[in-house]
Amino acid sequence: MSDMKIIVQKYGGSSVATTERIKAVADRIKKYVENDYRVVVVVSAMGKTTDGLIKLSSEITDNPDKRELDMLLSTGEQVTIALLAMTLHTIGIDAISYTGSQVRVMTDGNFSNARIQSISTDRIMASLRQNKVVIVAGFQGIDEEENITTLGRGGSDTSAVALAAAIGTRDCEIYTDVDGVYTADPRVIENPKKLKEISYDEMLELARLGAKVLHSRSVEFAKKYNIRLIVRSSFNYEEGTVVMPMEEMMEKFIISGITAKSDEAKVTLRNVADRPGVAAMLFGKMGEQKISVNMIVQSTGADGKASISFTVLKSDVKKTIDICESLKNELGGTSVDFKENIAIVSAIGVGMTSSYGVAGRVFRVLAEHGINIEMISTSEIGISCVIDPKYVELASKVLHAEFLEK
């Protein structure tokens, strides 16, 4: 059986939005079957079905029981698997659909954001051996007590990668409505370039800093299990972008992407005591409340005092301020303030680890266009600047021109 050529393919909501689209997906799968592939397909709910289900629950309550919400949301994917199986049957392809629970996608019990712990491949392999296309509902699993769980919005990507890892295939195709990963958002930059390859770390950084291509956890999983993610469109036969180990990449650009996001706010706790444990206390509390912090900048201490600024999602600002206010006295801080009107523009690339002057070039280009930088943070492969949102398009354009159009 080890000579079976297996491929895992994931089709996102837009790729299966209508029965017409499902027919197109079935035709594509048929081509693989005709080329002797055994195909494992993971699908999302049709189009905006999941949004629709969330809306239904919100008509009943603002605070639905988490178990029941996952029970509801998981139904979207179950519709798609059955329809796709039927469609394949009509074109003479043997296929069988499975829910997450039927193939034992075991997760923790964290409803609406569960993590996959294991998948049993017995049933999948048995069906593949019988020459069936196996269709698995993405985004869903079950916990120890067999409650249905979901993996967080966009989680079908992660289902697909976890399945590829469990089955032991190297390639996992992720079909969407864009034909790959681009150097910038085409809605902002006129002619962004499609990347042939990108490393896991760059992809994670792009996702963290605003690009909405893949579910981050799917990339972490792919990195851990050395799976090549091929991001491509189900609307054409273009090659797409391969998300892969950096060591295997043919070309490494200094900067491979420019992103921008404006869903975060900046919070500053001023003049806290410059002593060990202050940051630990503050960010420890934030972690307990499940608030994720993106950029953090602490000023150099002077006169025994330092200020800490950081960014959080706008939706977490209120909770964050409450935490800061409650710790202010204990930490010796003088005030808490925040600014919601900010944008973060970032330049990301693995090549910057081995080149000089990248940060200087970023700051110079912004300065030449009169864009003031309110906060800077860097990682090994990224530089992010907080700027006024009115400059976000301009900043993206000039950075793209500087690094990607020369």
Name the closest residue to ligand ASP (Cβ).
156
User: Which DSSP category does 368 fall into?
Assistant: H
Tokens of 300: 């150099």
Three-class secondary structure of residue 257 per DSSP? strand
- Binding Mg ion (rule: CB under 5 A), the pick from 44, 140, 159, 271 is 44
CB of 8 to Mg ion, least distance (A): 17
Q: Which residues pair with 175 in a beta bridge?
A: 11, 232
Q: Which residues pair with 106 in a beta bridge?
A: 118, 142
> Considering CB distances under 5 to 8 angstroms, the limit depending on partner class, which of Mg ion, ligand ASP, none binds residue 45?
ligand ASP
Name the closest residue to Mg ion (Cβ).
13
Instruction: Please tell me whether residue 15 binds Mg ion under the rule CB under 5 A.
Output: no
CB atoms within 10 A of CB 379: 15
Instruction: Please tell me whether residue 138 binds Mg ion under the rule CB under 5 A.
Output: no
Cβ nearer to Mg ion, comparing 45 with 206 = 45
Tokens 């962004």 correspond to: 192
Could you tell me whether strands 197-199 and 241-244 are parallel, antiparallel, or unpaired per DSSP bridges? parallel
Instruction: Please tell me whether residue 153 binds ligand ASP under the rule CB under 6 A.
Output: yes
Spatial distance between the Cα atoms of 326 and 182, rounded to a whole number of angstroms: 43
- Binding ligand ASP (rule: CB under 6 A), the pick from 15, 44, 127, 377 is 44
Phi, psi at 111, each rounded to 5°: -55, 145
Instruction: Please tell me whether residue 47 binds Mg ion under the rule CB under 5 A.
Output: no
Binding region for ligand ASP (CB under 6 A) out of 123-131, 150-158, 163-171, 315-323: 150-158
Instruction: Please tell me whether residue 257 binds ligand ASP under the rule CB under 6 A.
Output: no
CB atoms within 10 A of CB 181: 25
- Binding ligand ASP (rule: CB under 6 A), the pick from 9, 14, 15, 50 is 50
Cβ nearer to ligand ASP, comparing 12 with 333 = 12
Instruction: Please tell me whether residue 13 binds ligand ASP under the rule CB under 6 A.
Output: yes
Burial class (CB in 10 A: 0-12, 13-18, 19+), 90: exposed
> Considering CB distances under 5 to 8 angstroms, the limit depending on partner class, which of ligand ASP, Mg ion, none binds residue 397?
none
- Binding ligand ASP (rule: CB under 6 A), the pick from 139, 175, 221, 338 is 139
Spatial distance between the Cα atoms of 109 and 142, rounded to a whole number of angstroms: 8
User: Which DSSP category does 310 fall into?
Assistant: E
Amino acid symbol at 117: Q
Q: Which residues bind ligand ASP (CB under 6 A)?
A: 12-13, 44-45, 50, 76, 138-139, 153-156
